[in-house]
Structure 1
């Protein structure tokens, strides 16, 4: 009787340990897992059936068949990703050319004032998702004839390449899971832009943001100059097709600029046939502007525009 009791207790203990091991292993799979493993186990027989099917799965090395099938299917996704990334980075040379045109524009028509130099340079993107996608594209380009199913161009290392393709895709899936709020990849994510500004004796070095160049007014001045040069680059491209023309451009917060820099930014824009439209609570030298207006609101919140001055410079 004692031996029978001991056997019963041992059987119960081993059964519980067995069910615990099955539950722990089964917890790695979702209800819609690729291997079609059953995840909802109720009675003891369910646990025995699961273990029996798992033994058959391992003994017959079915995981190799799944790996082969999945690798071939996922390489199609890898190729699609590579194609999309290629379309996104196709304008890389145009971006570099535009940045060069902006730098050349400042050298050609400098700013007569405190800003002695403005330069821009593009660098490789620091965005982790972009870096991963570029790595996937490089991998796909290098192994475009050695992924997926066997064909005339396949090499002996095809299975290894397929395995790497799956690892890349798993990394991509993990990144998307870690950042569920990210829905799109913008062109700005494909490269990093740095600026260098020299204001009198102050050199910012290469920085990612135009900030702390000097005062708030100087920061606004530099940002305005960069935007004016960018507008001028596209304006000159259009001028080659349609002939030279003038363009109006709105500029806010001009009240933060020093009066000397107000005239400087106006000349900086006007020599490029860009006419600035500014608003400011502060009165500047009226000779800096061709037209001066006063804007006010009436009792019904309608804006009234009253011409105050028109200045025409008389050439001597």
Structure 2
């Protein structure tokens, strides 16, 4: 009887022991699995640095049904997926940014550096599309372009008006030579203006003409807009792009002036020599003849403005200093003096050497005495 009770108790204790040993093995297995999970976590955080610091400092607890290794595997997959998505985003942003310069009208960031920069570009672009900001920029830039063209047209229009004044002066100069010719080797002097060869000025004049012609179609739609408004505005953008490129090519150029609006040409007839139309008074004849022609042109120019002033205050005499007069032939000296005097313009020869003093009305001697200059009248020609 005791033997039976002993065996029965022994069997129960053995079974209990087996259950405890099995449970011990299970707990040890689970502990080992968790230790491996912690090692993987430390490797991910400390060695691979896959997790941002903000995720590690969060003290919020979230209940999960997966164990540590399952969560780490899921997290690693998510991180890899994020990397792939970021890589695709970077490629798309780089391709998108090729369409824009750093200084672009939309203020898009074309030089992102961090992932945060690329993500912010995506957010900004999404907001740009959702709120249809392209239409806002279109209206704003359309009016801005219209203002730019208007200012260019106004400035160039004013310049062209001054060019017409120049044409009037040249006409007066040509008429002046015909009315009071030069008795000597110079048989004819004529001036004219020709179209400008300046690329920037040519472009500005084209913009001016196009703006005047399409003034009612540039910019936003209005009651007077034509059906080709979009085509006109596209042409406006093309003009402004061309202007931007030209300004970059001439970045050191400070301004455009009246002299850029035309080419001044001369035609001189000296005895049997005809220069035809040239832009420089050079090689008309001898060096002295070149000086003579330049002096005559300046005298006629002075006379034109003197006549305009004389209409208000009456005629008057103008005294002018003429350099290098000694390089002229004696006959040409006498001729240029008569050419000027007939227009009430008196030339002053300041040469230290006397050349035909009887051709001049007065002859003076200037001498220096300390800081003072002494002037003595030597001769006076009696008519």
Please tell me the root mean square deviation across aligned C-alpha atoms, in Å.
Answer: 2.9
The alpha carbon displacement at 1:22 in A equals 4.0
Once the two structures are superposed, what CA deviation does each residue of 1:35-83 show, in whole Å capped at 9, x if it has no partner? 2322342333533553576588689986565344312321111111111
Once the two structures are superposed, what CA deviation does each residue of 1:230-262 show, in whole Å capped at 9, x if it has no partner? 111122222233222222112111111111111
For 1:263 and 1:14, how far apart are their aligned partners in 2?
A: 92
Match among 263, 282, 291 for residue 220 of structure 1: 291
2:244 matched to which residue of 1? 173
For 2:171 and 2:114, how far apart are their aligned partners in 1?
A: 72
For 1:247 and 1:45, how far apart are their aligned partners in 2?
A: 77
Once the two structures are superposed, what CA deviation does each residue of 1:187-222 show, in whole Å capped at 9, x if it has no partner? 222221100011112111100111111222111110
2:377 matched to which residue of 1? 307
1:118 matched to which residue of 2? 189
Q: Give the TM-score taking structure 2 as reference length.
A: 0.71
1:237 matched to which residue of 2? 308
Alignment check: 8 A CA contact 1:99 1:120 kept: yes
Partner SS, residue 89 of structure 1 = helix
Which stretch of structure 1 is more off in the superposition, 92-101 or 53-62? 53-62
Runs of 5+ consecutive residues of structure 2 not aligned to the other structure: 1-78
For 2:274 and 2:92, how far apart are their aligned partners in 1?
A: 65
For 1:214 and 1:58, how far apart are their aligned partners in 2?
A: 73
Q: Is the counterpart of residue 135 in structure 1 residue 193 in structure 2?
A: no
For 1:132 and 1:118, how far apart are their aligned partners in 2?
A: 32
The alpha carbon displacement at 1:129 in A equals 1.7
Between structures 1 and 2, the one with greater helix share: 2
Alignment check: 8 A CA contact 1:129 1:175 kept: yes
For 2:138 and 2:247, how far apart are their aligned partners in 1?
A: 23
Alignment check: 8 A CA contact 1:75 1:162 kept: no
Alignment check: 8 A CA contact 2:363 2:378 kept: yes
2:43 matched to which residue of 1? none
Q: Point out the structure with max Rg over C-alpha.
A: 2
If asked which structure has higher relative contact order (CA below 8 Å, sep 6+), I would say: 1
1:1-316 equivalences under 5 Å are 19=90, 22-23=93-94, 26=97, 29=100, 32-50=103-121, 63=134, 66-298=137-369, 300-313=370-383
Alignment check: 8 A CA contact 1:253 1:279 kept: no
Runs of 5+ consecutive residues of structure 1 not aligned to the other structure: 1-7
For 2:341 and 2:203, how far apart are their aligned partners in 1?
A: 44
The alpha carbon displacement at 1:177 in A equals 2.4
